[in-house]
Structures are given as structure tokens and as C-alpha cells.
Amino acid sequence: MRPLVTALVDTYNHERYIEQTLASVLEQGLSPAELEIVVVDDGSTDKTPEIIRKFVPRVKHVRKKNGGQASAFNAGFAESHGEIVATLDGDDLWERGKLAKVANALEEHHEVAAVGHGYYEFREETAERRIHVPQRRTTISLASVEATRAAFVNWTFLLMGALTVRREVLERIMPLPEDMVFMADTALQCAAMAMGALILDEALFCYRHHKQNLYAIDPENVTKLERKYRMTELVYDRAYQILTKLQVPDPSISELLTASWLQARRARLQRFGGNPLHTFQAEMRSFRRECKDPSIRYRFFKYVIMGATTLVLPPQQFYKLRDWYARNDLGRYRDRLFKADVTASTSPGKPPERV
């Protein structure tokens, strides 16, 4: 007989937090017959493994070589049996009663495949505590461009710690590509939205913001910042493939992912340089997204004049030129010469903030 719920916890060097995290799972008030706890230790080098072992046999301790978040998800899912899988990072906390509430929501709403909810954000550096809660309970999907825009706004409520899915969601996308060393939860979130998710209007977990967070890095650390940009590009490319596999309409996929991918690629190229072909790919992708029915002359301007410029100039020089072009409003001359009939996208244009 399968447990009702699997708590899937991924951790790496969380010796300061993992004991509290696991205590918050055990305090959910569910019996061993109702709750299976799988903790994947992704090759920690601190005291995290010793602390986890204190909770065995109540928790299943999966110890593996360090490989990143996607590999941890794959290893944990392989050891899980629950029809419902609730995810949690090894440095965060669930509020009491969280699992019962999300399980009840899934039982009441058979039309959705996942549940998300609001959360508390605790910043260690300032001891500040914020609450993030949606205005109302809502259901999201990627069935149309309009539905995708609504899903985009609520994406933040599907963070690790807030995301609970039916097992079928993971069965359809696992195993995840293991080159997603971090941000792999993006793939789970996208699959949840594609299959339909209910967002609850209450805060049911606490996210800890601290210096060890892989995504929340110091912008002055150029090595890690470039790695962050590259990983963001890769993850959104992988998410595109996953959503295509789930038969999400291409306009919905583009609406959900392209702005985030463009923001990361442009930021990397502008700050760190790179291959001019990457500049060309980014600007052509932006053009196709923003201009729904351009004139032939405007296509000529974009593909031939601007496209050639992206391939000739180093990326950093191209973006300096692009900024100068925008500051001096030279687009007005372009419009006069090429008569651009542009139907601009009305998407939010900026990805939801990852915490």
C-alpha cells in the first residue's frame, strides 16, 4: 500500500538548518502510514549526513555523490512511493498543518494536478520576515496565452516548499536532465502549471534567504553571477523541451519562458561577452516574440541590418550600441524608413523574482 504523501527533501551542506527542516516535516501530524519522508543528501561535506541519520528509520536517507538539484530529484523520486509528492529544500520550514491542507485541496479538486500557496520569507542578514500571499485562491494553467499570463503572475507561489504535485506529474517528466545543477525546480513548476495547479491564499511554509542560497548570490561575485546567468538560460531551454513534451501550445510556452530566457542571456552577454551567434539568437527570438505581423521592410531591417550587426560586433559592443540607439530615440528614423507594423506582446516582460 502506498503512503498518501511523500515529503521529498533535497539538501546539500545544510548542517545549520536540516534538523529544524525535518522537525517541521515530522510535526505535520501524519502517521508513518500516511507520510513517507525521503531526504536526498547531494554529497554534503559538512555534518548534514550525521544530523539526518538521527532521524532514521523514520526518514529514508538517500546519500549520493554531489550532482546538483536535478540529480537529487531523480534519486529521491526513484525512492518515493506516495501518490502525492510535496517538495522542500533542506534549509526551509513547513508551517504546521501544511500537508493536511494541500492533500485535502487535491482531494477536493480532482481537476488540478498540483497545489501551491503563499509563504513567509525570512532574511537572515536583516532578521526581516515578510509574507507573500496571493490576493485570492485561484486555479492556473497554460491552456492559452491569456491563461499563461495569469499563471506567470502566480508562478512565485510554486516555489520549493510550496509545491505539491500528484505523482503523475513527476512520472511524465522524470528523469530530469541532470545538467540542471540548480533551478531544477523550474521544470517541476512548469509541469505543474501545464497540468493545472490550485494556488491557496495562505502562507504555509517559510523560505530562508541566506548567503548560501545558490540562486541568491552576491552580484559582485562575477564567477557565480555568470554561472547563474548560464544556468538560467539552460534551465529555461530544458523547460521549453519539457512543456513541448507535455503538448503545451507553443504560444503559451513562449509567453511563459521567453522573457526570462532573454533577460538572462542579454545580461550575460552584456556583462561578460561571448559568442556573437548567441547575440543573434537572442535578438531574433526577441523579434519573433514582440512583432507578431511585421512588414517585409521591417523584417529586412531586423534580419539583415540588425542581424548582421549582432554577428559582426562583439556582444558587449553590440549592447552598448543598442543602449546608445535607445537613449537617442533613433527608432523613430527606423520606423520612417521601414514602416514597422509592430504588434507588441503584452506579457509582463520580467520573470517573477526567485527568492
Residue 125 sits in a domain of what CATH number?
3.90.550.10
DSSP characters for 231-292?
HHHHHHHHHHHHHHHTT--HHHHHHHHHHHHHHHHHHHHHHH---HHHHHHHHHHHHHHH-S
Which pLDDT band, with edges at 50, 70 and 90, does 337 fall under?
Answer: confident
Instruction: Indicate whether 73 belongs to any domain.
Output: yes
Angle between helices 250-272 and 315-327 (to 10 degrees): 100
Q: Is 190 helix (H, G, I), strand (E, B) or coil?
A: helix
Angle between helices 185-195 and 222-245 (to 10 degrees): 30
For residues 20 and 105, membership in a common domain is answered with yes
Grid cell at residue 264? 538572462
Task: Please measure the distance between the N-terminal and C-terminal CA atoms of the chain and give it in whole angstroms.
Answer: 37
Number of domains in the chain: 2
Pair 5, 84: CB distance under 8 Å: yes
Which pLDDT band, with edges at 50, 70 and 90, does 125 fall under?
Answer: confident
Q: Which of 175, 209, 243 corresponds to the end of one domain? A: 209
Residue pointed to by grid coordinates 491557496: 200
Peptide bond into 315 cis (omega under 30): no
Q: Which of 209, 232, 261 corresponds to the end of one domain? A: 209
Beta bridge partners of 114: 165, 197
Residue 345 clears pLDDT 60, i.e. is over it: no
Question: Across all residues in the chain, what is the average pLDDT?
Answer: 91
| pLDDT (0 to 100) of residue 341 | 52
Domain residue limits at 333: 276-344
Which pLDDT band, with edges at 50, 70 and 90, does 352 fall under?
Answer: low
Instruction: Indicate whether 233 belongs to any domain.
Output: no
DSSP one-letter code for 11: E
Residue 239 clears pLDDT 80, i.e. is over it: yes
pTM of the model: 0.89
